[in-house]
Amino acid sequence: MTHESATGHRAQLVDWLSIHSQLHRASGRNTDWPYGSIEELVLSLGRWGLPTPLPTGRARGPERKCYANASSYAEIHDLTYVEGYALTYVGFVCAHAWCVDGDGRVHDPTWRDDVGVAYLGIPFSAGYTRAFTEKFGSACLLHDAHLDEFRILREGLAADATVPIGTRAS
């Protein structure tokens, strides 16, 4: 992928997230919260992952199970669990989970290598991910925010909840 196409894909993903974030704010709900939506949170705190092929010999999990796939893959391969949004090669934006290594390279244990062209998400610390999973039985930290009464939007994230891997979106 060329630098120009990567930049264009990132811009497309940011535009989509910005529009949805503005729509949530315009609804008049949650106006006193630091983040009015998951999209706004990801735009504010998210980091870019570098789309790369999954290393040879590593198995993918079942389709449509990205949160469970990424959670177990992160533990097995000592990687960082990430949740956010990804842009597919056909221009569809999807709530998604994946893993990153220390250099911010994406390990997507759900999608084929050619599906995701831009990844923007929040890399979560292993401790935060483990605590959430133990409490709620799921590693879907952002997109199941209702399980924790939207605390992540009402209060933001503790400093030890995230890992500084990848380039900041904002």
Residues 13 and 85: beta-carbon distance below 8 Å: yes
> What is the model's pTM?
0.93
* pLDDT reported for residue 1: 56
Using only C-alpha atoms, the chain has a radius of gyration, in whole angstroms, of 15
Question: Burial level of 132, CB count in 10 A (0-12/13-18/19+)?
Answer: buried
Q: How far is CA 11 from CA 5, 6, 87, 95, 100, in A?
A: 10, 9, 10, 17, 21
Q: What are phi and psi of 103, to 5 degrees?
A: -100, 5
* pLDDT tens readout for residues 25-78: 888 777 889 999 999 999 999 999 999 999 999 999 999 999 999 999 999 999
* pLDDT tens readout for residues 101-120: 999 999 999 999 999 999 99
Q: Is the pLDDT of residue 3 over 90?
A: no
The H-or-E segment that residue 167 falls in is strand 167-168
* pLDDT reported for residue 170: 72
Arithmetic mean of pLDDT, 6-28: 92
Task: Indicate the average pLDDT of the chain.
Answer: 92
* pLDDT tens readout for residues 128-155: 999 988 888 777 889 888 888 888 999 9
Residues 119 and 42: beta-carbon distance below 8 Å: no
